[in-house]
Each structure stands twice: as C-alpha cells, then as structure tokens.
Amino acid sequence: MNNSEVLALLTQANAIIPDSHLVYTSGRHGRAYVNKDAIYPNTELTSSLCLLIAQYYADREIDVVLAPALGGIILSQWVAHHLSQIKKKNILAIYAEKTVDGFELKRGYDLLCRSKKILLIEDILNTGGSLKKVINLVRSLPAEIIGAACLCNRGQITTADLEDIPELYSLSQINLESWDAKNCQLCQQGVPIHTGVGKGKEFLKR
C-alpha cells in the first residue's frame, strides 16, 4: 500500500482533518491536522495498518515491540500480534511511561527488554522528541534497536534525527504547512479556530 492509499484510509476514518484552522501542540497554526485518536476506535483499520508494519519487518529478528505511552500502546499490541503470527514465535508488546525527565520502563518491562532486539513503534512523528527519549532509554539498558516505525511522519523526521537508528519506516508522510501564531494567515483572514482537536481551545482561552 503506497503513501496515497494510506492517507486515503486515514482521511476516510477522519484521522486527517483538512481545510480547517488548527493549533498544534507546538503552538503553531495550520490548515490540517492528523488526529490519531480517530484511528484507534476502529479496530479493523488499526489492525490493518499494524499488519503492514509487521509485514515490512517480517524478515528481521525482533523480540519486543516497544512504544512510548500513550497512543503507541495500542499499536505495539497489534504489531507484536501480527509479527507473532507471521514469525510463529511469541513477540512481546510493552510500553514506556512518561516521567518528568523523559520515559521509564516500569512494571518489570526493563527486564523484558534487556539484551533483546527491539522494534520501536510510534503513531505520529512531529518532532520525534518522544521517540528519541525512548531510544536513549533502550540503549541504556542495554538492548539492540532494530528500527522504528510510525503511522504518519508529518515532521519529515529521518534516522539522523532519531539518534542514527538503523531504520525508520513510515506508513505515510504528509507535509503540513504551519505558521507562528503571530503571523498566522488564517487568523488574519478571520477563519474560526477548530477547538475539537489540537490546542485550539487552550489558545482561545489565553
């Protein structure tokens, strides 16, 4: 499935909101938004997308699929499930929890990762910040990172941005034009801010 086909699926699921006025987590404004939370309630869609990732990594040695919480937890379960079926071995799905300084493997998950071959999974890559913190966490265990995968790379992130991991596989890529709030073209045109997703509601309160 190519980039256009994946983006079409995400659009059908209302996971891509076009032609609106959004405020991103960074504080910048833009016309479109990738709403990952619209994907997860649809288990068939989520499973299908994760199967594509599992098929891509089917010929690699992988012991654990690891995701940063929160959104990646569901993806780690589905990717590990499909990889287990394909490779006919038990591949674990675990997640790292956010802390004040970064991420931590709690609940004994660090022991499950130590000296293992790890596939990292993320939903949407914006700056890659969360994934970079998890990469450093995994290397400190230590464990071997086989690669990383994401549903959508909207920040044009590369392996160099992610501490030079061996590989980054993106199911889809999208380039969203954005502006600083003070120079937002949509604000200047009086286009109403979308408050259902992103940080629009918080922006209007300020």
CA distances from 112 to 3, 29, 73, 92, 130 (A): 34, 41, 16, 8, 21
CATH number at residue 75: 3.40.50.2020
Per-residue pLDDT, 206: 83
Per-residue pLDDT, 71: 79
Domain count, the chain: 1
DSSP string, 118-174: EEEEEEEESS-HHHHHHHHHHHHS--EEEEEEEEEE-S---TGGGTT-S-EEEEEE-
Cβ(143)–Cβ(134) below 8 Å: no
What range defines the domain where residue 24 resides?
A: 3-205
Cβ(67)–Cβ(73) below 8 Å: yes
Give the chain's residues under pLDDT 50: none
